[in-house]
Amino acid sequence: MSSRTSNENQGALNGVRVLDLSRVLAGPWSTQLLADYGASVIKVERPETGDDTRSWGPPWLKDQERNDTSDSAYFLSTNRNKRSLTADLANGEGSQVVRDLAATCDVVVENFRVGTLKRYGLDYGSLCDVNPSLIYCSISAYGQSGVRANQPGYDAMIQASGGLMSVTGAADEEGGTPQKVGVAIADIMAGMYATTAILAALVARKESGQGQHIDVPLYDSQVAWLANQNMNYLVGGVNPQRLGTAHPNIVPYQTFATADSYLSLAVGNDRQFRDCVHCLGLEELAEDQRFRDNTSRVQNRDLLVTLMAEAFSKADAADWLEKLAACGVPAGPINSIEDVFSEPYASEREMVRHLDRPDADDIPTVANPVRFSTTPVSYRHAPPILGQHTDEILSIDLGYSQERIKALRRSGAI
C-alpha cells in the first residue's frame, strides 16, 4: 500500500521558485502541486502559530515517542515538499524579508483579504516593481474587483452560494436536503485552477519575459466547474435539481441497493445498457421503446429505475459486481476510505508514500496521481515543522549573516 520516498528532484518545474504566502487549503493545495512537480516552495508562516490548519485537529501527527505533535492531519494533507519560514508581515523587518525573497522567486501565491498585502508593500504592484518577471497569483473569495471583493468566504458557504449544494443531496420527494461535498472541494478546485493558470503564465513568460497578476476567486471557480449542470440550465432553461446519486443526463447512472449493501452503476451508452439488463435477467427492456436509447431512458427514468432496483435487491452486491464485470458493464462498490487504502490497487499504484522529518519518522502522504514518464513527481520533504527552514533560507537563499538573523529574531520579525 505504501513506499518510502526519495529526496531526488527531477521534476518538470525543477528550478522554479515559489513563495507561498497562502494558508488553509486553496493556496496550499496549489503550491503543493507545484512542489510535487519539482518547484522549490518556501512557505511563509506567522511566528508561533503558523498556518491555521496546523491546529485543526485531532487527529495529530505522532512524534517518535508516539506523542501528539502540534501538527494536524489536515495540515499534513497539503504542505509536503515545502520549506517553512516564519515572518511577521506586520513587522517592517519581517515584510522586508518577504520582499527580499520575492525578488528571487518566479511565483508568489497568496490568499489574503483583498488589499491586506498592499499595507505591507507585498501586493503585486509593489513586488513587480523589483521583479517584473514575477507571476503573482491571488486567491480570494470573490476576486480582486467588484462589489464583493472585500467580503470573506470559506468553502462551505461557497459550495452553497455557488450552486453546488443545490444539486448535491437526495431529491426533495425522497426527503433530501441540500448537502455539501465531504471535502472542501471549492477550495481544492480553486487551487487546481490556480495551478493551471500559474503554469500557463510560466509558459507565456518564456515569450514575453514579463510576469503577470492572476486573479482566482473561489466563487467563480465553483460556478465554472459545475460543467454540464451549468449548460443544462443555460441551454435547457430548467433549473437543475438534486437527484441524489443519479445523473441528470444519463440513465441508469446511480447507486442501487442490493440484498446486503449498495453498488454504483455507470451505464454510459446503449450497448452497455443492453448488456446490463441482460445481466439482470431483464432482457426485454433492451427492446422496449421506452428505453431504446438514452433520451428515452431519461424521459422514463422513474419506471426504469424501479424495475432495475427490484432486480438488484435479489442478490448481494459482490455477486452483482462479479456478473456486471463479466458483461463489461461499469460498476463498483461503495468503498470506505479504509477500503480504498486496503485494496491491492493502492499498493500496486503506490498511493501512499512515507516521509520523515526531525520529530517524526513515519509521515504518510497520499501520492500525487500524475505519472510522468521522464520528469517524475518527487516526495522530497515532509510537511515542515513551523519555521523549520527559517535560518537555512535566510542564510543560504538570501545570504543574510548570522548576526542579522539573530537581530531579526530578537525583534520578532521572524
Q: What is the pLDDT of residues 80-101, one digit of tens each?
A: 999 999 999 999 999 999 999 9
Of all residues in the chain, the percent with pLDDT exceeding 70 is 98
Question: What is 2-225+349-411's CATH topology?
Answer: Rossmann fold (3.40.50)
Q: Which helix (H) or strand (E) holds 129?
A: helix 124-130
Statement: residue 6 has pLDDT above 70:
no
Q: Report residue 414 as a C-alpha cell.
A: 521572524
Q: What is the mean pLDDT of the chain?
A: 95
187 annotated active-site: yes
Smallest CA-to-CA distance from 372 within 129, 31, 14, 1 is with 14
| Marked catalytic residue, from 187, 275, 359, 397 | 187
Statement: residue 7 has pLDDT above 80:
no
> To 10 degrees, what angle do helices 270-279 and 317-326 make?
130
* Residue 40 contacts residue 16 (beta carbons within 8 Å): yes
- The pLDDT-based confidence of 361 (bands split at 50, 70, 90) is confident
Q: Report residue 24 as a C-alpha cell.
A: 488553509
Quick: pLDDT tens for 362-389.
899 999 999 999 999 999 999 999 999 9
The residue ranges of every structural domain in the chain are 2-225+349-411, 253-257+262-333
**DSSP character string of 137-184:** EEEESS-SSSTTTT----HHHHHHHTTGGGGSS--GGGT------SS-
Residues 253-257+262-333, CATH architecture: 2-Layer Sandwich (3.30)
Smallest CA-to-CA distance from 69 within 264, 357, 339, 312 is with 357
Quick: pLDDT tens for 227-273.
999 999 999 999 999 999 999 999 999 999 999 999 999 999 999 99
* Residue 165 contacts residue 179 (beta carbons within 8 Å): yes
Q: How many CB atoms lie within 10 A of CB 281?
A: 10
Q: Report residue 93 as a C-alpha cell.
A: 523587518
Say whether 253-257+262-333 and 2-225+349-411 share the same fold.
no
Could you give the CA distance from residue 315 to residue 196 in angstroms, rounded to a whole number? 45
Looking at the chain, how many residues does it have?
414
